[in-house]
Amino acid sequence: MILDTFKGKIVLVTGHTGFKGSWLCLWLAELGAEVHGFSLPPNTEPNHYTATRISELLKSEKSGDIRDQSTLTKYIQSVQPDCIFHLAAQPLVRKSYAEPIETFDTNVMGSIYVMEAVRSLGKPCSVVMITSDKCYENVGKAEGYVETDPMGGHDPYSASKGCAELAIASYRRSFFPPADVAKHGVMLVSVRAGNVVGGGDWAEDRIIPDAVRAVTSGRSLEIRSPNAVRPWQHVLEPLSGYILLAAKMMNGEADLGGGWNFGPASSKASTVAEMIHLFYSLWGEGNIVCDDNTNHLHEAAYLTLSSDKAMKNLGWHPVWSFSQTIERTAKWYKGFYENSDALRLSLADIDEYRKNLEY
């Protein structure tokens, strides 16, 4: 299997203490990689990183801010990675309204600092830069956005991801052109995913964590935009795309540069209300209250991705249906609050997911 490529490889994950980052570290360790992490400490309690004892699986880790260029560069030089997954970010739309400078600095300059460190690394390296589906200029179209659509963004978070994409494309053209990879040794891609869910996310202002906090404390969940449509997917779906893409790059496959979407089939996109009703039905309890206040910060009402490029050129396909995704997510949280081992729950999800992979 192509994922055997990771056995013995040195892999660095920035943002490894975050929700997606900790799941990625766990999967990479399962694949036999030597995993290193660079990140700030987790910003919620509980969190997936601590609950699954990720630090015990790592070869090394460094606590640091992605905006600290000197510390980041020194750590990357010390690790000498074969592959980098860059996930460190300010990931919240609503927080970006309150902290726009931090958002742009983290998401744009942080990405540039990673690429600058790779420039001075002096060895072949496959680099996967994780941005967001919100990097696209959202014009409200029903069909999924494709990789050639314009970058944009109404809110500071979305705009920062669009800016990061432009910076990544510039570095690829200027310093890491795919046609000259034999000379510089660097393969650089950006990846975009939809709204990920799954066990172990307790971030503020995200719908599943908010739902979990509400039901476990006996409160009703207040939702702002019940009819907003999102491409819900389990966290393992985009991670499988990132891992597959990196494996193909490390195997020397050409023509992989550029941006890549990893999302569910557009026909599987569902509203916030539909998703939460299913989640609570699987949980066995939970109440929903719609917020009638119309004076909210702007958030896109409709957003889906087209993953045709990844399906055609990589052989990647979503594995779990919408109902399976929500079922696995609800099962993880229920298990956690019944004092089950978070590591065992997460490994069970990875094992079940891998049974259905087609590569």
From the list 195, 197, 173, 196, the residue with the least C-alpha distance to 184 is 173
Residue 288: strand, helix, or coil? strand
From the list 93, 291, 66, the residue with the least C-alpha distance to 203 is 93
The neighbour count for residue 182, using CB atoms within 10 Å, is: 8
pTM of the prediction?
0.95
Q: What is the pLDDT of residue 292?
A: 58
Q: What is the pLDDT of residue 271?
A: 87
Write the class of the CATH domain 2-354. alpha beta
Q: What is the pLDDT of residue 160?
A: 97
- Taking only the tens of pLDDT, the chain with its 359 residues reads 788 999 999 999 999 999 999 999 999 999 999 999 999 999 999 999 999 999 999 999 999 999 999 999 999 999 999 999 999 999 888 899 999 999 999 999 999 999 999 999 999 999 999 999 999 999 888 788 999 999 999 999 999 999 999 999 999 999 999 999 999 999 999 999 978 999 999 998 889 999 999 999 999 999 988 888 777 899 999 999 999 999 999 999 878 889 999 998 765 568 899 999 999 999 999 999 986 555 555 555 567 889 999 999 999 999 999 999 999 999 999 999 998 899 999 999 999 999 988 77
From the list 17, 27, 25, the residue with the least C-alpha distance to 49 is 17
CA-based end-to-end distance of the chain: 7
Q: Is the peptide bond before 264 cis (omega within 30 degrees of 0)?
A: no
Inter-CA distances, 251 with 258, 261, 348, Å: 17, 21, 28
Extents of the domains making up the chain: 2-354
**Residue labelled with tokens 């309204």:** 97
The neighbour count for residue 143, using CB atoms within 10 Å, is: 8
